[in-house]
Amino acid sequence: MTRIIMHGCNGHMGRVISDLVEKDENATIVAGVDVFNNKANSYTVYKTMKDCNVDADVIIDFSNASAVDGMIEAAVEKKLPVVLCTTGLSDEQLAKVNEASKQIPILRSANMSIGINALMKILNLATKLLADEGYDIEIIEKHHNLKLDAPSGTALALADCINDAADNRYDYIYDRHDRRQKRDKKELGISAMRGGTIVGEHEIFYAGTDEVIEIKHTAYSKAVFAKGSIAAAHFLKDQKPGMYDMSDVLDLD
């Protein structure tokens, strides 16, 4: 049985994860942490991780960047592994996370979807086959109109995956409206669209001479991210200190 503390339990993702864990016979949420305690939870909710003294195996964090520092500090103090799903962290925060991973296991992925992480494996292979054949590569991501960051953390992670496979030859280009020049071969274009209630859509284009290869992932609900985070929690509770990602959970290396 994996005993989970849900950090950010009353946010949308916290509620989705809570509902899924109730159906998982091998997991239970023993406590929640959220500054807004306005939901009918089946577990006790605390305002901060420091207030929470419940025995647990792992923390799942789906909160916001402003809450991450305190959560990480408390996790180190309590020696609790962390599945870190919050995006938009600063370089300073990421440095703190990396430092904390020397003392506790931390799993951080830009996207917790099993499908997205399988997609990264596909992109690694496609890029190695096509980058040297003159194919231009572009990424278009689409999300709902409430999303704050652009491009998405997932789009950047996909770009990094492609760039790693191509020996870091690409420069990321986010906006071409003032670039009065032909496309450079070292460009990797990343475009963002915001509208409606789109959960998440990522398209990768390999555009060559007289042919285009399109690879696309669509998330129809946030449950795909919740399922991945629960799988990560089961995996992480038995790991040694260090940094992990979803490829470790899925054994994709």
* DSSP one-letter string for 95-135: HHHHHHTTTSEEEE-S---HHHHHHHHHHHHHHHHHGGGT-
Is 154 labeled as ligand-binding? Answer: yes
Is 246 labeled as ligand-binding? Answer: no
Is 218 labeled as ligand-binding? Answer: no
Is 85 labeled as ligand-binding? Answer: yes
Is 6 labeled as ligand-binding? Answer: no
Q: How many CB atoms lie within 10 A of CB 221?
A: 10
Q: Which of 50, 78, 96, 147 is catalytic?
A: 147
Is 110 labeled as ligand-binding? Answer: yes
Q: What angle do CA 196, 201, 206 make, to 5 degrees?
A: 135
Is 32 labeled as ligand-binding? Answer: no
Chain centroid offset of residue 63 CA = 12
Q: Is 143 a catalytic residue?
A: yes
Q: How many CB atoms lie within 10 A of CB 131?
A: 20
Q: Which of 7, 143, 234, 237 is catalytic?
A: 143
Is 87 labeled as ligand-binding? Answer: yes
Is 153 labeled as ligand-binding? Answer: yes
Is 161 labeled as ligand-binding? Answer: no
Q: Which residue blocks in the chain are alpha helix, DSSP H? A: 12-21, 65-78, 91-100, 114-130, 153-165, 223-236, 246-250
Please state the residue numbers annotated as binding site for NADP(+).
39
Tell me which residues are annotated as active site: 143, 147
Known binding site: residues?
A: 8-13, 39, 85-87, 109-112, 144, 153-154
Q: Which positions make up the binding site for (S)-2,3,4,5-tetrahydrodipicolinate? A: 144, 153-154
Residues making up the binding site for NAD(+) = 8-13, 85-87, 109-112
